[in-house]
Amino acid sequence: MTGEFKFGTFTGEETMSFDVHTDDDLNPGDVLRAVYAALREKGYNPINQLVGYLISGDPAYITSHKQARSLIRRVERDDLIEELVSFYLKE
């Protein structure tokens, strides 16, 4: 890169780009399966823990094992519920 940086502005010929990573590529079904597996590995009842999280929104219901807690928080709870209802009611 050529140019100089002054007061927060790059002065040069090249345009800098910034790519924001979005969580649009996260599939709620895949997230639920991954979190379920992590909860099961740690000896929890995955159904009870997931229901507790979905009702309350409290991430303490989800283990941090295999980053399950941070993974599930990247998906909106309403998207997780929609995935579950759609799967259950699918004909």
Whole-number average pLDDT of the chain: 86
Host H or E run for residue 10:
strand 9-11
Q: At what angle do helices 77-89 and 28-41 cross, to 10 degrees?
A: 100
Query: What pLDDT score does 40 carry?
Result: 98
d(CA 34, CA 7) in angstroms, rounded, equals 45
Query: What pLDDT score does 6 carry?
Result: 47
pLDDT tens figures, 56-67: 999 999 999 999
Host H or E run for residue 82:
helix 77-89
Report whether pLDDT(1) > 60: no
Q: Which residues of 38-67 are buried (b: 16+ CB within 10 A; e: fewer)?
A: bbeeeebebeebbeebbeeeeeebbbeeee
